[in-house]
C-alpha cells in the first residue's frame, strides 16, 4: 500500500462502512478496531484516535447508516388505507422493514449487558425512534376519527407504543415474525383495544 491518503469525511464513511460490514458478519461482541481497520484499509491508530471503544464506533456507524438511508422515511408516510385496519397494516409492515435493518447488526439478538453509559446512549437512540412511532399512530387515529370509526383520539402512550414494542420483541428476541402474526395483533388486539377505549 502506498500513496493516496484519504482523510476527513471520505475516510470516516469508509470506516463506517467497514464497521457495518464487520457488524453484519461478526456481530457486536466480536467487533474490534484491528479488524475494522483492516476492512477499511487503514490502520488501528486512526480508529483509536477517533473512538475510545468499539462500542462507540458501532453506535456512530449505525447512526450514520440511519441518517443516510432511513432519514425521514417513517416521517413522510403517504397513507393509502381506507380504514383504521388498513392504515395499521401499512404502518406496521413499514415498521417491520425498518426494524429488520437494525436487526442485521445484532445477528439474531439476545440480551446481554452493557455499561450504564452505553445504555444511556442506546436508550437515547431508541427514544428518538419512539417519537416517530407515536406521531404515526396519532396520524392514523385522526384519520380514523375523520372517517367516523372512532370518536376520540386520546390514547395512553403505553398503548400507542404497544405494537412497536411487541414487534421489536418478536424480531429481536424471539427471532421471528410472520405475516399472520401482524394480522393477529391488528385484528385481535389493536382494533378491539382502540374501539373499546376510543368510543
Partner DNA sequence: TCAAATAAGATAATTTTAGTTTCTTATTGT
Partner DNA sequence: ACAATAAGAAACTAAAATTATCTTATTTGA
> What is the C-alpha separation between 195 and 179, in angstroms, rounded?
23
> What is the C-alpha separation between 101 and 64, in angstroms, rounded?
13
Q: Is position 198 an interface residue for its own copies (rule: CB under 8 A)?
A: no
Ranges within 1-30 binding DNA (CB under 7 A):
1-8, 11
* Cell numbers for 179: 405475516
Q: Is position 65 an interface residue for DNA (rule: CB under 7 A)?
A: no
Q: Is position 68 an interface residue for DNA (rule: CB under 7 A)?
A: no
Q: Is position 114 an interface residue for its own copies (rule: CB under 8 A)?
A: yes
Residue 116 interacts with which of DNA, its own copies, none, CB < 5 to 8 Å by class: its own copies
Write the binding mask 25 to 64 for DNA: x where contact by CB under 7 A, - elsewhere.
Answer: -------xxxx-----xxxxxx-xx---xx----------
> What is the C-alpha separation between 191 and 199, in angstroms, rounded?
12
Question: What string of H, E and C letters represents the secondary structure of 5-23?
Answer: CCCHHHHHHHHHHHHHHHH
Residue 196 interacts with which of DNA, its own copies, none, CB < 5 to 8 Å by class: its own copies
Binding site for its own copies (CB under 8 A): 27-29, 106-116, 118-119, 122-123, 126, 156, 158-159, 162, 165-166, 168-170, 172-175, 181, 184-185, 188-189, 192-193, 195-197
Binding site for DNA (CB under 7 A): 1-8, 11, 32-35, 41-46, 48-49, 53-54
Amino acid at each position: 500500500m502506498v500513496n493516496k491518503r484519504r482523510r476527513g469525511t471520505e475516510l470516516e464513511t469508509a470506516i463506517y462502512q467497514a464497521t457495518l460490514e464487520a457488524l453484519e458478519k461478526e456481530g457486536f461482541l466480536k467487533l474490534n478496531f484491528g479488524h475494522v481497520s483492516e476492512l477499511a484499509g487503514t490502520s488501528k491508530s486512526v480508529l483509536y484516535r477517533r473512538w475510545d471503544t468499539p462500542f462507540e464506533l458501532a453506535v456512530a456507524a449505525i447512526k450514520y447508516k440511519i441518517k443516510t438511508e432511513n432519514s425521514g422515511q417513517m416521517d413522510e408516510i403517504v397513507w393509502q388505507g381506507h380504514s383504521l385496519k388498513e392504515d395499521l397494516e401499512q404502518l406496521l409492515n413499514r415498521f417491520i422493514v425498518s426494524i429488520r435493518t437494525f436487526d442485521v447488526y445484532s445477528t439474531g439478538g439476545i440480551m446481554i449487558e452493557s455499561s450504564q453509559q452505553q445504555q444511556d446512549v442506546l436508550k437515547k437512540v431508541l427514544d428518538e425512534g419512539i417519537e416517530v412511532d407515536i406521531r404515526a399512530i396519532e396520524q392514523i387515529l385522526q384519520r380514523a376519527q375523520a372517517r367516523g370509526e372512532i370518536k376520540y383520539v386520546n390514547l395512553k402512550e403505553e398503548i400507542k407504543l404497544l405494537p412497536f414494542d411487541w414487534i421489536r420483541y418478536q424480531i429481536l428476541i424471539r427471532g421471528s415474525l410472520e405475516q399472520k402474526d401482524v394480522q393477529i395483533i391488528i385484528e385481535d388486539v389493536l382494533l378491539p383495544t382502540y374501539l373499546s377505549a376510543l368510543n
